[in-house]
Chain A
Amino acid sequence: MSLSVARPLVSVYSEKSEVVAGAALPLPFVFKAPIRPDLVNDVHVSMSKNARQPYCVSKEAGHQTSAESWGTGRAVARIPRVRGGGTHRSGQGAFGNMCRGGRMFAPTKPWRRWHRRVNLRQRRAAAAAAVAAAGVPALVQARGHIIEKVPEFPLVVADKVQEINKTKQAVIFLRRIKAWSDVLKVYKSQRLRAGKGKMRNRRRVQRRGPLIIYHKDQGLTRAFRNIPGVETLNVDKLNLLKLAPGGHVGRFIIWTQSAFERLDALFGSWKTPSKEKKNFNLPQPKMANTDLTKLLKSEEIRKVLRAPNKRVVRATRKLNPLTNSRAMLRLNPYAAVLKREAVLGQRRTRNARALALAEKRGIKLPEDDTAVKAEKLREKRTKAIKVAASKKPKKPVAKKTAPPPPKKKASKEKKPAAKK
C-alpha cells in the first residue's frame, strides 16, 4: 500500500500555454502506480499480435507433380523425380524441401495462432503502469522524447484544446507549450524502411511524437491528425500500444483537463476501487518505500545487521620454528629459557673443561682468558650473595624455580642455586 502517496497539485495550462490560475488539479493516483516495464512489455508483445493478418503458402505448392522415386540401382539419389520426358522438368527432383521447385519445409498454415488473449487484469495493470511512467520526465526523456522546455509534468491543458479544429492552430498550440521540438524530431526521423517492407506497402517509417489524450472530441482529432507523429486518444479507451509504443514505457502525453479529471474515476485509488472498471483496483507495489539508499542507511535495518567484517585474511607464510627463533617464541615462550640454558651450559662446560685441562697439563692460564675470568666472577658473586644473605633477617627465602624469561642479551648472569 503506497501509504506515502503525496498528491501534488498539477497546474493547468491554457491553450496559449499560460498557467490558468486557481485551476490546479491534484495528481490522480494512477501516477503512483508501480511502473512495471516487464509487465508492459509482455502485454504489449501479446497485444501487438492481435492486429496481424494471416499469411501462408499455397497448400498445393510443390505438390503439383506426380513425381515418384526411381528407387535404387540407377546411380542417382533416391529423391522422387518428375515422370515423363521431353522437357527439362522430367527427371528433376520434386517434393522435397531441398529440391528446386519442391515444397518448403513445414509449409506455413493459416490456422497458426495469430492472436493472443491477455488477462484483463494484466491489461489494466499495464495501462496503469504506462500512464504512471508517462508522469516521470526522466522516463519520457529516456524513451527519446524532446521535452526540455515543457513547463510541467504531467502536462495538463485546458479543455479549449478539444475545440481546436484547424491544423494551423494545433501547430501553434504545440509550439506554445514547447512540444514542437518533439514533432520536429519526428520530421527528422522520416526515412525509408530498411528491407522488403518497402515493397509491401510499409515504405516509410518515422518515430512517435506526443500523444494527446482528450475527453470529448470537438474537432481535436481532425486538427492534429495531419501533424506527423502526433496521435490522439480518448481517455475512456486508453490503448497500451499507444501509451507504450514498442513496449517501452514513457510516452510524452498531453492531457486535457477533463481527461485528467477522469483518470481518478477510471483507475481509482488504492483505498477506493475504480468506478468505471469493474472489480479493479490499482496494483499493489512490491516495495512501498523504494528509496534504497535511505533504507540501507536506516537505523532499523542497521540495527539488525551484524558488524562488517573488514578484516582481510591473507595466507601467512609458514616459518619453521626449529630454525626461526621468533616463530618459536611465538609458539612456545619457554623456548627462550631452554635456549638460554643450552647456551650458558655450553659456555660453562667449555670453561670448566679449559680449566681442568690447564690444571692437568700444569699450565697456568693468562689472566684475561675467558675461562679464568668467568671463574673469578663466579667466586666473587657467590661471596657477595653469602654476605647479603647473612645480613638479611632470617626469613624463609622462597626458592625461585624459574624466573620470568630473561632478556636474550649476552650478559653473564648465572643462576646460583639451580646448576652444579
Chain B
Amino acid sequence: MVAVTEKKASAEKKVVKGKEDSKKLPAVPESVLKHRKRRSALRARRVQVTIKRRSAAVKKRKEIFKRAEQYVKEYRIRERDEIRLVRQARNRGNYYVPGEAKLAFVIRIRGINQVSPKVRKVLQLFRLRQINNGVFVRLNKATINMLRIAEPYITWGYPNLKSVRELIYKRGFAKVKGQRMPIASNTIIEQKLGKSNIICVEDLIHEIFTVGEKFKYASNFLWPFKLNNPTGGWRKKTIHYVDGGDFGNREDKINELLRRMV
C-alpha cells in the first residue's frame, strides 16, 4: 500500500521544543530529548540489574563451594565405611554383604542394522540410539529386566566415582531446548535443574553417583554420552563378557573399559 505521505496537506513537522530562551543555540528536537531520557533510564536500570546479578552470583559461588566440600567428605566417608564394615565383619568371623549396586552405566556396543524390534525398542527407551552411546541407569527390577532383553547389544556395569566424574566433566553435554549444549558453566545446570536443587556440576555428579531422588531429572538432563572406541580394542563383541567377550553385565570391570573409552 502506498503510504500517503501527506506532503501538500498538513505536514507535521517535528515539534521543536526544548530550550525556549535560546535564540542563539539551536533548539533540540523533542525526539532527541526523549531518546536521551529513555537511554539514561535504561542504563540506570541495567546497572541495578548487573549489581543484583553479580551479588547473586557471588552468593551462589560460595554455596557451590560449600556443597562441593561437603560432597568430598561424603564420598570419603562412604568409601571408608565400606572398607570398615568389611574389616569389622572379618574380625568377628562374619561376612559383610555389600548392598547391591543402584547405579549402572550402559554402553551400546552394536550398530543399527538387523536389530530385532523388542531389543530396538528397549535401546530406544534407554536413549541408546547410536553405537558407543552410554547412559546412566538406575537399577531396579524393571530396568534390570530391560537390560536383560537388550543384553547382546549392550555392555554395562557399576561405575565408580572417578568414572562418573570423568564422564560428566569430559563428555558431559546438556539437553537444553532440545539442543546438545556443552556444560560450559553452572548456569546451564541451574536453569534446568534448579528446581531439583542441583545448581552445579558437583551437585549433578552427586545426584547421579548416589542415585538420589532427582536421579531421573539429572540423568535425563544429560545427553547420552558419545564415547570413543576403546583404545586397546574389544575382546569379542559377539559373546558375553563372562564367556570371554564383551556384552552383558561386567559389574566393576566397566570402569576399566570406561578409562579406555572416555
Contact = CB atoms under 8 A, between A and B. Distances in A.
Interface of A: 5-6, 8, 27, 32, 34-37, 132-133, 135-139, 153, 286-287, 290-292, 297, 316, 318-322, 327-328, 330-335, 337-338, 401-402, 404-405
Given A322-B166, A338-B72, A333 B3 contact: no
A interface secondary structure, majority = loop
A339 B8 CA distance: 78
A333 B186 CA distance: 11
B170 A333 contact: no
Contact of A6 (B10, B61, B186, B201): B10
B162 to A, nearest CB: 10
A138 B7 contact: yes
A35 B8 contact: no
Contact of A35 (B2, B61, B185): B2
A330 B72 CA distance: 18
Given A290-B4, A322-B166, A330 B185 contact: yes
A365 B166 CA distance: 42
12 contacts: A6-B10, A287-B1, A290-B1, A291-B3, A316-B182, A316-B184, A320-B169, A330-B184, A332-B202, A334-B202, A335-B68, A404-B65
B81 interface: no
A292 B10 CA distance: 16
Contacts of A319: 184
A81 B61 CA distance: 98
Interface of B: 1-10, 12, 31, 61, 64-65, 68-69, 72, 166, 169-170, 182-186, 200-202
B10 A334 contact: no
Contact of B7 (A136, A290, A333): A136
Given A316-B184, A332-B202, A322 B169 contact: yes
Contact of B170 (A6, A36, A322, A402): A322
A239 to B, nearest CB: 22
A139 B2 contact: yes
Contacts of A136: 4, 7
Contacts, number: 86
B7 A137 contact: yes
B8 A331 contact: no
Which among B2, B6, B200 has the highest number of chain A CB atoms within 10 Å? B2
Contacts of B64: 332-334
B250 to A, nearest CB: 24
A34 B1 CA distance: 9
A330 B65 CA distance: 11
Contact of B9 (A6, A35, A287, A316): A6
Given A318-B184, A331-B200, A286 B1 contact: yes
A8 B7 contact: no
A380 B2 CA distance: 91
Nearest to A10: B8
Given A138-B7, A333-B68, A36 B1 contact: yes
A350 to B, nearest CB: 23
Nearest to A31: B9
B169 A402 contact: no
